[in-house]
Amino acid sequence: MKKASPKKQPAKIPARTRALGDKYQRILDGAVAVFAEKGFHNSRVSDVAERAAVADGTIYLYFRNKEELLMTAINTAFDAFMSRARTELEAISSPPEKLRRLAQLHLQAFHDNRSLAVVFQMELRQSARFLAPFSHDHMVEYFGLVRAAIREGQSQGIFRAELREKIAANCFFGALDEMVTSWVLDETNYQLADVADAVTDILLNGFTKK
């Protein structure tokens, strides 16, 4: 972010012929890898270019600027996750089982792509505040899934009625998020998804009627 960002250029104009090459994807992957290693602000666009084996300028054929590179990477991953999660959860009717499955998916997704996990845990919050509410919309979607399951569980009499839906959802997400952060900061790379059940047990137990 070197200048006052004119911000309003028409749009990125990726190649028409894009399907032929995989540069777009290589750049995105390179960006995630580099940003995970050094952090967004400490990474140079030329680092990403090098990692993706393209020229510096090529990146600007696909992305308006460095910021959009980050946002696109995050958005793409988020979209993929949400679509997967939505589909899977639809097939489950029990609210507690929905939450359990969501926890597994959440942790598994990050375990499967550690660089992405690092970028999410380290850069997403900042982005949420400074790069506009792009990610916020996604968060709202995610929370929507959680809150729906909680509401359902309440109306089925499984979860306590006095539970405050929004707070409960925050606890659920916060707990998972913290598991990921703690895993990311830990070098050992243990099987993250293994803790999903333990976390879910605590939370569900907390939500459930005695």
Partner DNA sequence: ATACAGAGAATGAATGGTCATTCAGTGGGG
Partner DNA sequence: CCCCACTGAATGACCATTCATTCTCTGTAT
CB of 167 to a second copy, least distance (A): 5
Q: How far apart are CA 179 and CA 95, in angstroms?
A: 22
Which span sits near DNA by CB under 7 A: 40-48, 95-103, 180-188, 200-208?
Answer: 40-48
Q: How far apart are CA 67 and CA 145, in angstroms?
A: 28
Cα–chain center distance at 193: 16
Q: At what angle do helices 66-90 and 23-38 cross, to 10 degrees?
A: 100
Cα–chain center distance at 73: 10
Q: What does the DSSP 8-state code read for residue 77?
A: H
In this structure, the number of other CB atoms found within 10 A of the CB of residue 178 comes to 12
Q: Which of residues 6-35 bind DNA (CB under 7 A)?
A: 13, 15-18, 20-21, 23
Q: How far apart are CA 176 and CA 164, in angstroms?
A: 19
The answer to whether the beta carbons of residues 157 and 150 sit under 8 Å apart is: no
Q: Which amino acid is at 31?
A: A
Q: Does 165 bind a second copy (CB under 8 A)?
A: no
The token pair that represents 54 in the structure block: 């393209």
Nearer to a second copy, 52 or 179 (CB): 179
Nearer to DNA, 70 or 203 (CB): 70
Q: Which of residues 42-71 bind DNA (CB under 7 A)?
A: 42-46, 54-58, 60-61, 65-67
The token pair that represents 129 in the structure block: 């505040």
Q: Does 13 bind a second copy (CB under 8 A)?
A: no
Q: How far apart are CA 124 and CA 115, in angstroms?
A: 13
Q: Which does 57 bind (CB under 5 to 8 A by kind): a second copy, DNA, none?
A: DNA
Contact mark string toward a second copy, 136..155, x via CB under 8 A: x-------------------
Q: Does 202 bind a second copy (CB under 8 A)?
A: yes
- Which of 2, 8, 10, 210 binds DNA (CB under 7 A)? It is 2
Contact positions toward DNA, by CB under 7 A? Answer: 1-5, 13, 15-18, 20-21, 23, 42-46, 54-58, 60-61, 65-67
Contact positions toward a second copy, by CB under 8 A? Answer: 1, 38-39, 41-42, 118, 121-123, 125-126, 128-130, 136, 163-164, 167-168, 170-171, 173-179, 181-182, 185, 195, 198-199, 201-207, 210
